[in-house]
Copies of this chain bind each other. A is one copy, B any other.
Amino acid sequence: MAKDGKKPDRRAGERTKTQKSAKKRAKVALEVEAASDGPGGYGTDDRPDVALVVDVAYFAVDRGALVVLLVERGREPDPGRWAVPGAVLEPDEALTDAATRAVVARAGILEPFTRVEQLAVFDAPDRDPRTRVVSTAVLAVTSTPVPPAGGALASGRWWRVDTIGTDGGPTLAFDHLDIVEAGVERLRSRLEQTDVATALVEEPFTLGDLRRAYEAAWGIELEPANFRRKVLATPGFVAQTAGKRIVGTGRPADLYVRGAGAVLHPPIPRPR
């Protein structure tokens, strides 16, 4: 049963451009792996065949709406369509560093963003028509969705997520609609379990600000009274600071900053 450690040179005929037709092939290839490193290992001696990139689903809340940073593609494939910022992973680079690099190139943000979280790996063999590209999508947020500066950055734009795919909204390239949708869903989930909402508002913030961030991301309205109680009942979520803020009309609101805790006990449940 065990092979002798040799394997057929699968790069014999030089890599052809694309092999969409080979999708089903791997499903029946259930023979024992001819591991070149013996039990428990795998051969990593030769050059890899698969390119690994990082794509960033970068979100913010802007005037009551959830927005995502997209970049317009200038050339084939998919010219005129919009993509999330991406970068090829460098040999000694961590995913979060590559993610920062991708966003810096598109959004003019000069400091690395703090909260980054892995989203999912997008691995469909034909997701990029040029060659095999596996993408690790990561989720990131900012409190200040600044419009990208000019020059090479001008192609980036913040789009309301609820306009994607509609008449006035962007059309996404490749499988990036899947990436954005996964990011939206993960962000909505993380708002329940973590204090990521405090990264969506600028300090200091009122509990009304925080509530409106939740409402924008979840697309629903929340009871101000109950929301307030839940936030204050969760230790480490927010900390009150000095002063009050008067917006327009209405009673001045207490000001808060981010608390120490990252996970929320108890969570802020999302209405179903």
Q: Are the CB atoms of B131 and A33 closer together than 8 Å?
A: no
Which B residues lie within 8 Å of A40 (CB)?
71-74, 82-83, 155, 173
Taking a contact as CB atoms under 8 Å apart, the answer to whether B19 and A89 are in contact is no
**Cβ of A166 < 8 Å from any Cβ of B?**
no
Q: Can you list, as one digit per residue, whether each of A13-57 has a CB less than 8 Å from chain B (1) or not (0)?
A: 001000100110111011111010111111111011111110000
Closest beta carbon of chain B to A162's beta carbon, Å = 22
Distance between Cα atoms of A272 and B110 in the complex (Å): 42
Complex CA distance for A92 and B47, rounded to whole angstroms? 16
Pair B152/A49 contact, Cβ less than 8 Å:
no
Query: A1's contact among B32, B42, B153, by CB below 8 Å, is which?
Result: B153
Assuming the A-B contacts A95-B123, A132-B91, are A86 and B29 also in contact, with contact meaning beta carbons closer than 8 angstroms in the complex?
A: no
Does the CB pair B105–A33 fall under 8 Å?
Answer: yes
Q: Which residue of the partner chain, among B3, B25, B30, B132, contacts A100 with CB atoms under 8 Å? A: B30
- Cα separation A104 to B43 with both chains bound (whole Å): 17
Contacts of A95 in B (CB 8 A): 121, 123
- CB–CB A10/B90 < 8 A: yes
Residues of B contacting A115 in the complex (Cβ-Cβ under 8 angstroms): none
Please give me the residue from chain B that is nearest to A152 by CB atom: B2
